[in-house]
Copies of this chain bind each other. A is one copy, B any other.
């Protein structure tokens, strides 16, 4: 079964200044994993039209799916929709179906020019429902354009699953390691990785809240039985090292 991949593009100056902590990448990853889609790369870009357009085009070619977050609100720095249109050489205009979505929340008289910006959608794009604040996201070819506000972004994901043809699901198992340092497990772990080429072995040290180091090994793979065998080998190796 083939691997299906996605590229993620997180858009917004505020993500690069340290003002805002992105959490959308993790949410998208955890949503896509069970659908059988692996994220191959993520980029965080400022509100720079040229960089956004080029990256969208590049990612659209390189990955099965692309997700963008941010830049689809009502203000002058919300330029994502125009960048997507530009990336694919599409026209862009106010669309009645998008306006209709906004009209379920706003009176027509409240829809000023700024709010109407949120109904500008690239030609031919399909809308993505926004049950929170109603301004829709949209799908252009294999690119899903979502809001940047995490609560809205997560709600939009619910309207995406049915559009995705996933591949192999990468399963993972986490094995906590007690009283062995990463440097002690490093050599044996490299050998295990060679013996199990279809399973990836990751080693993740961390600081415990109560002080001292902790370590977790994460094994990942698409074949449940190979993963099982690898986990058994790993546990035997760990017992040898501690014992």
Q: Which residues of A contact B (CB under 8 A)?
A: 12-23, 25-30, 33, 38-47, 51, 73-77, 110, 112-115, 117-118, 149, 151, 170, 172, 182-187, 189-190, 193, 200-207, 218, 220
Contacts and interface: CB of A to CB of B under 8 A. Distances in A.
Copies of this chain assembled into the complex? 2
Contacts of A42: 15-16, 43-44
B19 A205 contact: no
Contact of A76 (B20, B29, B47, B201): B201
Contacts of A112: 183-184, 186-187
Contact of A44 (B25, B77, B170, B207): B25
B39 A149 contact: no
A131 to B, nearest CB: 14
A202 B77 contact: yes
Nearest to A132: B207
22 contacts: A13-B200, A17-B29, A17-B33, A18-B26, A18-B27, A18-B28, A41-B43, A41-B51, A42-B44, A43-B44, A74-B182, A74-B183, A74-B186, A76-B186, A76-B201, A77-B203, A113-B186, A113-B187, A114-B182, A114-B187, A149-B205, A149-B206
Contacts of A22: 22, 25
A190 B27 CA distance: 31
A21 B39 CA distance: 14
A118 B21 CA distance: 30
**By DSSP majority rule, is chain A's interface helix, strand, loop, or mixed?**
mixed
A182 B149 CA distance: 13
A168 B19 CA distance: 18
A39 B25 contact: no
A38 B15 CA distance: 12
Among A19, A172, A187, A200, the most chain B Cβ lie within 10 Å of the Cβ of: A19
A128 to B, nearest CB: 18
B201 A19 contact: no
A30 B110 CA distance: 39
B44 A193 contact: no
Nearest to A44: B42
